Amino acid sequence: MPKVLISDSMSNVAQKIFEKNNISVDVKTGLTEEEIIKIIPEYDGMVVRSATKVTKNIIEAAINLKVIGRAGAGVDNIDVLTAKKKNMIVMNTPGGNANATAEHAFALIMSVLRKIPFANETTHKGQWEKKNIKGVELSKKTLGIVGFGNVGVRLSNLVKGFDMKILVNSKSLESRKSEYPHVENSSFDDLVSKCDILSFHCKAAADGNPMLTKEHMKKMKPTSYIINAARGNIVDENDLNDALNEGLIAGAAVDVFSKEPSKENVLFNNPKAVLTPHVAASTVEASIIVAEMVANQISDFLLKDIKVNTV
């Protein structure tokens, strides 16, 4: 009987699927690297979200491991290169949390444009800041979407009806343009200079270098907003903080940080920044979908050698 370790907390749907498929499953969360190294030789499969860092040391100790499944999209917490060298399959669940992430990006946009967090906090305190709260509308504005995968596409569909122009920067859009008549393919520089809202939905660069730095921010409209619900290192946080303080842009809303969990960050306490703790994908619905997807995919691989959503 194959054996799987679930090392991050996730919907118990995953555990139930493994049990139904006669796959032995242990749920052990919050383990250190050393603790995982000790037990990993027992397992044929491993399931993680983002908390477990599947390091080179873990993979090298995993003498029986055949598959690592990520309940989510990003695999930046897994040393994919070492896993591949060891002939392990790495799978993710693309699309499983795309709607959740796109809806959160939209919520961030509305929050920062309408100053909802400030309005909420001050109203609770009885401060009645009505005179100091003036929002900005979406109508007639230009939204720039960087990356047009599952999340970018979903966000573009969500804003239909808000009377916005949508510019997209994506290498793959040209070949599938006819499917998306509501967006225009543009260069990254065009997005930077023309957008009122610039929202990131792409992978981080492999070398870890930020895609958006102060040089770009200097070219943005002073009334514009940056939204990052993708990965923390895509937008340089120090530059973003400076750009907010120097009035190069009007505001930012950020769900992802260069270091997570983020206990301190240069953006903390910047009144022009709306911040959430990497929860874009954390909805009741998405957590069930990604748990189901990853458990079914791993079961199919271990029992029938079917490979789906390999990275």
Binding site for ligand MLT (CB under 6 A): 49-50, 72-74, 97, 281
Using a 10 angstrom Cβ sphere, with 0-12 exposed, 13-18 middle and 19 or more buried, the burial of residue 39 is middle
Read off the tokens for 300. Answer: 């199919």
Between 72 and 210, name the residue whose CB sits nearer to ligand MLT.
Answer: 72
Least Å from the CB of residue 85 to ligand MLT = 23
Decide: 302 and 43 in contact? Cβ < 8 Å: no
CA dist 128 and 130 (Å) reads 6
Among 260, 264, 285, 292, the active-site one is 260
Minimal distance in Å, beta carbon 281 to ligand MLT? 4
Largest CA-CA distance found in the chain, in angstroms, rounded: 66
Catalytic status, residue 137: no
Q: How far is the CB of 68 from ligand MLT (least distance, A)?
A: 14
Active-site residue flag, 231: yes
Chain residue whose CB lies nearest ligand MLT:
72
244 versus 280: smaller Cβ distance to ligand MLT: 280
State which residue, 71 or 167, has the beta carbon closest to ligand MLT: 71
CB of 12 to ligand MLT, least distance (A): 17
| Of residues 102 and 220, the one with the C-beta less far from ligand MLT | 102
State the DSSP string of 249-264.
Answer: SSEEEES--SSSS-S-
CB of 257 to ligand MLT, least distance (A): 12
Q: Which residues touch 265 (CB under 8 Å, ≥6 apart)?
A: 237, 257, 258, 259
Q: Which is nearer to ligand MLT, 198 or 234 (CB)?
A: 234
Rounded Cα–Cα distance for residues 180 and 45 (Å) = 38
Per the annotation, the verdict on 278 as an active-site residue is yes
| The one catalytic residue among 104, 231, 237, 292 | 231
Write the CB contacts of 8 (distance below 8 Å, at least 6 apart in sequence). 29, 47, 48, 49, 50, 51, 52, 71
Residue 39 structure tokens: 């037990």
User: Active-site positions?
Assistant: 231, 260, 278
